Amino acid sequence: MHKTITLNINGRDYFVSIKSSDTLQDVLRDKLGLTGTKKGCELGVCGACTVIIDGKTMNSCIILAETVQGKKIETIEGIKKDTDLHPIQKSFVEHGAIQCGYCTPGMIMSAKALIDKNPKPTRDEIKEGLSGNICRCTGYTKIIEAVEDWQKFKRSGAKIKHEDDLDKFQTVGKSMPRVDAYDKVTGSAKYTGDFKFPGMLVGKILKR
């Protein structure tokens, strides 16, 4: 049975028709197309689906959507201001704290919640703050460094090193941000599970 609920996501009210069994992750990704919130373990362990609800990080895969009406939900799509990346996103780009990028939105949400509460976290506090986000490329060091360094990008309009050079094709001999970094820190990068086509057929591997 479907019912219509209102969810406040990134400062905007969405009226959405759901089933009571839908998780917040299902609604964000399948109903609203906000696929920056990733689908990993689906059991509240890996942190890929991390969103911020009333200032606190939570795993959207184990939250029933209906239970978060009236709360302020922030997702990776909502943290940049207009076209300007959030300082923590810039810091991730600058530090190369991204490999495959699948854990990145969740990492950034945890990092944002941490610095909102504690703008100058110690290394140990950062590790603790990100301890619910698993990166299987094993790139934790750069991620921790990116969070440590975020204040450098706090000034609005602060630029990532060599950002202008990229436009001028003056990149030889310089360490540049990876080409897909912007898409990966904003959640707009598309992975296989994020595509949706009309009449799409979904296959599943069945194991004995």
Partner 1 sequence: MKIPGIKLHNAADLANACSLLEKYGESAKALAGGTDLVVDLKQKRAVFEHIVVLGGIAGLDEIKLRKGILQIGALTSLASLAESRIIKKHLPALSDAASTMATPQVRNMGTIGGNVAMAVPSADLPPTLIAANARIITDSPTGSRIIPIREFFTGPRKTVLGAAELIREIEIDVPPANSGLSYKKFQLRNSAALAVVGVAASLVVEDGKISDACIVLGAVAPTPLIAVKASRSLIGAKPDFEAFANAGKIACEEGKPISDIRGSKEFRCRLIGVLTRRALEEANGRIRTAPKRRKN
Please give the residue ranges that form the binding site for partner 1 (CB under 8 A): 1, 19-21, 23, 42-45, 47, 50, 56-59, 62-64, 66-67, 110, 128-129, 131-132, 134
Work out how close the CB of 164 gets to partner 1 at its nearest, in angstroms, rounded to a whole number: 37
Kindly state the smallest distance separating residue 184's Cβ from partner 1, in Å: 21
CB of 115 to partner 1, least distance (A): 14
Choose between 55 and 119: whose C-beta lies nearer to partner 1: 55
> Which residues fall within 8 angstroms of residue 166, CB to CB, at 6 or more apart?
176, 177
How far is C-alpha 181 from the chain's CA centre?
Answer: 13
Nearer to partner 1, 32 or 62 (CB): 62
Q: Which of 115, 89, 114, 116 is nearest to 189 (CA)?
A: 89
Closest distance to partner 1 from the beta carbon of 139 (Å): 17
Classify residue 187 by its DSSP letter.
T
Determine the Cα–Cα distance for residues 195 and 18; give it in Å rounded to an integer. Answer: 20
**CA nearest 6: which of 54, 74, 90, 66?**
66
To partner 1, the closest distance from the beta carbon of 183 in angstroms equals 24
* CA–CA dist 109, 57 (Å, integer): 7
Q: Are 187 and 76 in contact (CB under 8 A)?
A: yes
Beta carbon of residue 106, minimum distance to partner 1 (angstroms, whole number) = 9
Q: Both ends of the chain: CA-CA distance in Å?
A: 33
Q: Three-state DSSP class for 75?
A: coil
Inter-residue contact 65 to 46 (CB < 8 Å): no
Residue 62 CA to residue 104 CA, distance in Å, equals 19
